[in-house]
Amino acid sequence: MPTNEELQKQLIQDLLVESNEGLDRFDREMLALEKGQATPDTPNIIFRVIHTIKGTAGCLGLSKIESVAHVGENLLSLLREGKVTVTPPLISTLLAYADALRAMLSSLRDEGNEGSEDYSALLKQLQDLQAASSATSTETIPAPQAAAPVAAPAALPQGWGLFDDEPAPATPAATPVLSEAVAPAPVIERAPVVAPVTAHAPTGTPATSHPPGEGGARATSAADTAIRVNVEQLDKLMNLVGELVLARNQIVQHSALIQDNSLIAASQRLNIITTELQESVMKTRMQPIGNVWAKFPRIVRDVAGELGKKVQLVMEGNETELDRTIIEAIKDPLTHIIRNAIDHGIETPEVRRGGGKPDEGLLILRAFHEGGQVNIEIMDDGRGINISRVKEKALQRALITADQSARMSDREAFNLIFLPGFSTAEKVTNLSGRGVGMDVVKTNIEKIGGSVDLLSEANAGTTIKIKIPLTLAIIPALIVTSGRERFAIPQVSLLELVRLEAEQARKGIEKLYGAPVYRLRGQLLPLVYLNKELELGGASSTGGAVDEAVNIVVLQADGRQFGMVVDEINDTEEIVVKPLGKQLKGLACFAGATIMGDGRVALILDVVGLAQHAQVIREVRDRSMTEKHKGDARASERQTLLLFDVGEGAQMAIPLSMVARLEEFPRSQIERSGAHEVVQYRGQILPLVRVSDYVRTVAETSASGTDLMQVVVYSEQGRSIGLVVGSINDIVEEAVTVKRDSAHDGILGSAVIQNRVTDLLDVAAVIRSADPSFYSSSRTPVGLAA
Amino acid sequence: MNDSKQFCTFFIDGLFFGVEVLKVQEVIRYQQMTAVPLASRTIEGLINLRGQIVTAIDLRRRLDLPPRGEEQLPMNVVVRSDDGAVSLLVDEIGDVVEIHDDVRERPPETLRGVARELVTGVYKLKERLLLILDTEKTVNLAA
């Protein structure tokens, strides 16, 4: 038998939960009323929410809440009777009134009292509204003594005494406080309370679609089939299931070693049951995303109102379910994005009208499952992101250089808004533009293994796409071995596995200035050796001589693919993610640890962190990133390229448009002029540049056996220079996509041309380093490097 | 009520250390460990303590003492910290002793290096000196 205090506590707890849910509902119904989407039942629902709060608070001796609730209730009762007309000020005041109740409730939760806030101004407003409407009415209800709250804590113990023999005072109809307007069927109040525990909570405008009367029946059945469970309890259950999964893995592994039929049968059953149990427990933690979204209509209304904008919010996929830990984690980022969309995205009605758009901006929230992940899209039809302004801002904040800004692709420019310390708001508003914003959104979403992408079109709107995993606690992972240690790679970042036998590996893995790459279906895949990155040592495959089979795990991080070479690929397994201690928090390469079937600990690789560590992707968008996009931009145009060899097996290319002539000279014709090698050519002196000297490849020209030199003559502003190459291979017309960026001078990047890795020679850079005066002595050359 | 405290004692490189017994969750023999690449050398690895993953800190490295011999397997003193359980690797486990505050002294000024930070007090026992470690500081490698 619980003591009185315990019961009181429990009742207050119930009051808090019910009231907060009720108030959320109150908000939704209020907004429906404002939009004229109300059903005949809407005023009743609104009234009952407040009525219940008032009643329960009264029972528990929470006099301040009770008295504040009472004032609003009077107004609402007039509303219900159709004696007040719905006006925006009325709605705003009533919403503020709901906030006041919330404030008192949260103070009750956090501090154990109703708080010392003075609501007399608000109450005065409510009374004024009421007085205005009841001027015609005869039954003016006298204003209660709301401004004089009774000290709540003192009142608590006495409040309890009423209910010794009635442990469920949540039925407010029984309280003596209520004299007017008996709440019809108090059971209904319990319906929204229970519903969120069952997976599909009514989220849009619940119950309003049902005629009154039917709601009552529905609610009763919901109350019969659902119970309220403490989240802590569920978390504990989840942890236990995690342990069970590990124990199961161990037993399954051992039973395979012991040839005992009954043991094998039992372990198989255990296996199946554990899997089912795991799924069921996961399901209990699943909540529809609508639970988070429920508060957005209110936020949208408030923000839009403050900024003098009109916004219509459309929400699709309310019922999409995800783990509650993730729901918690995305709440703030989503709120921020929505605020941003209204603040920066959607224009004022005047501007919209000028642009031929409807006054009312459209904001669409959409959630759906796809490929084991939850996708959330936030779309607005506002002005879109102004790229030049974004770039300007980034320049101003020294986040990028002028050079980068000029070369940046649109998509890359959009992503600038995710950089720390970036904000485009011209003036800092109350809502956004404080410089803490999208970077935090991005970090928070990435923290839970998600990703953010942004698309925008000028004057058409902006779409932000978020992808997040369903759950964090138990994930499928690939187990690999490297340097005698096992590592788990989360399946979400895994694209495919490639195994190269020794012979294939020798041929297939090519080197670009020491950086190994592999051609995967014509695409260059940078390779990262796990044992090298993690400094494991020991194993042979350090990127040097390859004389055994090579296992490549193809991974994706931040939109970039790369291959990770490991010693062995073991198996896929469901693993339970456990956090690392704070001593290890600084290691970006690991996302956590898990316990394997044999009871040993294995580290979980953080693919993005590892890619950053290996410099496959870079945290700061530097030169090479923009170079890549420069390549992408060029990709669509077909180019005619001259292919040639410089040294052993290194093919290079230059655009044919840069080539004046191809010539052959016997070596004996080389003369010297100062430090330069020159030849006489068409009555002029042609300086020679040996390409191999400037791009640091393996060997000198392979054609040195013959007496003839292959020279590519390049002309600019009436001056010529001869590029000495090994051998001319071919002329091809190809759409060149630069696949890999090179940090080396003289190379613009690399591409696959005719199934060979080909470096694109940066002619201007080579000539500049060979003869700095070549360009400067004449007029400035046009468009060479760009 | 007299002012005495209980300490869990252990030996590292011939020195006699102790931590408050209330901070100690348990003492276990050597466990297989998973090394953490790229981590500080002070971290010996991760152990599986009944499904809980616990970081093991090598106290010899933490205290700037010479490394343990290859053949010598350390013991785990699992302590509770603000951030969950952490294992301290020691050479050998001593007794749990109850000592009166009378014999406590502040560490001598001449104590240098990292020990100056981590040793909170010295108890003058009959046969030897007992150095008391601050567990929170010991497991906080940033300090």
Check which CATH number belongs to the domain holding A268 and give it. Answer: 1.10.287
- pLDDT (tens digit, 9 = 90+) per residue, A24-58? 888 888 888 887 777 777 888 888 888 888 878 87
Angle between helix axes A324-340 and A438-447 (nearest 10 degrees) is 160
> How many domains does chain A divide into?
5
DSSP annotation of B34 reads: B
Cβ contact A535–B37 (<8 Å):
yes
Alpha-carbon gap: B142 to the closest alpha carbon of chain A (Å): 8
CA atoms within 13 A on the CB side of A255: 18
Flag whether A622 is in a domain.
no
Query: CB distance from B52 to chain A under 8 Å?
Result: yes
Which contiguous run of DSSP H or E holds residue A53?
Answer: helix A42-59
* Better pLDDT: A522 or B15: B15
A593 with B53: Cβ contact below 8 A: yes
Q: Does A583 touch chain B (CB under 8 A)?
A: yes
- Give the nearest chain B residue to A587 (CA atoms): B39
What count of CB pairs under 8 Å joins A to B?
67
pLDDT at B92 (0 to 100): 92
Same domain, A523 and A406: no
A308 is a domain residue: yes
Of A485, A536, A599, the CB nearest to B48: A599
Cβ atoms within 10 Å of A53's Cβ, excluding its own: 31
pLDDT score of A423: 59
In this structure, the answer to whether residues A312 and A197 fall within a common structural domain is no
- Chain B residues in contact with A580 (beta carbon < 8 A): 46, 53, 55
**Rg of chain A's alpha carbons, rounded to an integer?**
35
Are residues A537 and A572 located together in one domain of the fold? yes
Tell me whether residue A624 is in a domain.
no
Are A716 and A763 within 8 A, CB to CB?
no
Reading the block at residue A174, the tokens are: 């029984």
What's the CA angle centered on A122, arms A119 and A128, to 5 degrees? Answer: 135
Q: What is the domain-level CATH number for residue B134?
A: 2.40.50.180
Kindly state whether A582 is in contact with chain B, defined as any CB-CB distance less than 8 angstroms. yes
Q: Same structural domain for residues A277 and A299? A: no
Asked if A207 and A252 sit in the same domain, the reply is no
Cβ–Cβ below 8 Å for A536 and B57: no
For chain B, percent of residues with pLDDT exceeding 90: 43
Q: Inspect the interface and report whether the beta carbons of B46 and A587 lie closer than 8 Å.
A: no
The residue of B30, B32, B33, B36 whose CB has the most chain A CBs within 10 angstroms, and thus the best one to mutate to test that interface, is B36
Q: What is the pLDDT at residue A199?
A: 38
DSSP class of residue A302 equals: H
- Measured at the CA of A517, the angle between CA A514 and CA A518, to 5 degrees, comes to 150
Judge if A547 and A557 occupy the same domain: yes
Say if residue A68 is in the same domain as residue A216: yes
Has residue B31 got a pLDDT over 70? yes
Q: Are A646 and A563 in the same domain?
A: no
Stretch (H or E) spanning A357: none
Asked if B84 is an interface residue toward chain A (Cβ–Cβ < 8 A), one would say yes
Token pair belonging to A756: 């060979």
Judged by CB atoms closer than 8 Å, whether chains meet at A583 and B139 is answered as yes
So what's the pLDDT on residue A319? 86
| B30/chain A closest Cα distance in angstroms | 13
- Taking CB atoms and an 8 Å limit, are A580 and B53 in contact across chains? yes
**Cβ pair A485:B34 closer than 8 A:** yes
Share of chain A above pLDDT 70, in %: 75
Residue in B36, B43, B84 closest to A603 by CB: B36
Inter-chain CB proximity B57 and A583 less than 8 Å? yes
Q: Is A602 on the interface with B (CB under 8 A)?
A: yes
Q: Residue B37 sits in which domain range?
A: 4-139
Strands of A483-587 (E only): list them: 485-490, 494-500, 509-512, 515-520, 523-529, 550-557, 560-566, 568-576
Assign residue A114 the CATH number of its domain.
1.20.120.160
CA distance B131 to B143: 19
* Band of residue B58 on the pLDDT scale cut at 50, 70, 90: very high
pLDDT digits (tens, 9 = 90+) for B62-114: 988 888 887 889 999 999 988 788 999 999 999 999 988 888 888 888 887 88
B75–A contact, CB cutoff 8 A: no
Q: Is A99 found in the same domain as A218?
A: yes
Q: Which amino acid is located at A317 in the chain? A: G
Residues 6+ apart with CB under 8 A from A473: A238, A242, A282, A323, A325, A576, A577
CB A686 within 8 A of CB A680: yes
Could you give the CA distance from residue A433 to residue A343 in angstroms, rounded to a whole number? 9
Please indicate, yes or no, if residue A704 is contained in any of the structural domains: yes
Whether residue A536 sits in one domain with residue A569: yes
Same-domain check for residues A219 and A71: yes
pLDDT at A402: 80
Residues of B in contact with A535 (CB under 8 A): 37-38
pLDDT at A340: 83
Are A80 and A86 in contact by the 8 Å Cβ rule? The answer is no
- Continuous segment of H or E residues that includes residue A468: strand A461-469
pLDDT the model gives residue A430: 43
Structural domains of chain B, count: 1
Residue A701 is part of which domain span? 633-776
Distance (Å, rounded) from C-alpha A162 to C-alpha A11? Answer: 13
CA neighbor of A66 nearest in space, from A1, A144, A139: A144
* pLDDT at res. A705: 54
> Over B90-125, what HEC string results?
ECEEEEEEEEEHHHEECCCCCCCCHHHHHEEEEEEC
Tell me: do A643 and A499 sit in the same domain: no
Residue ranges, chain A, pLDDT below 50: 136-220, 222, 426-436, 539-545, 619-636, 698, 700-703, 777-786
Is B55 near chain A, with CB under 8 Å?
yes
Chain A residues inside the 8 Å CB shell of B141: 583
B128: left (phi over 0), alpha (psi -120 to 50) or beta: beta
Q: Does B83 touch chain A (CB under 8 A)?
A: yes
pLDDT value at residue A622: 38
Chain B neighbors of A246, CB-CB under 8 A: 51
CB contact under 8 A, A590 and B43: no
Query: Domain containing A518 — which CATH number?
Result: 2.40.50.180
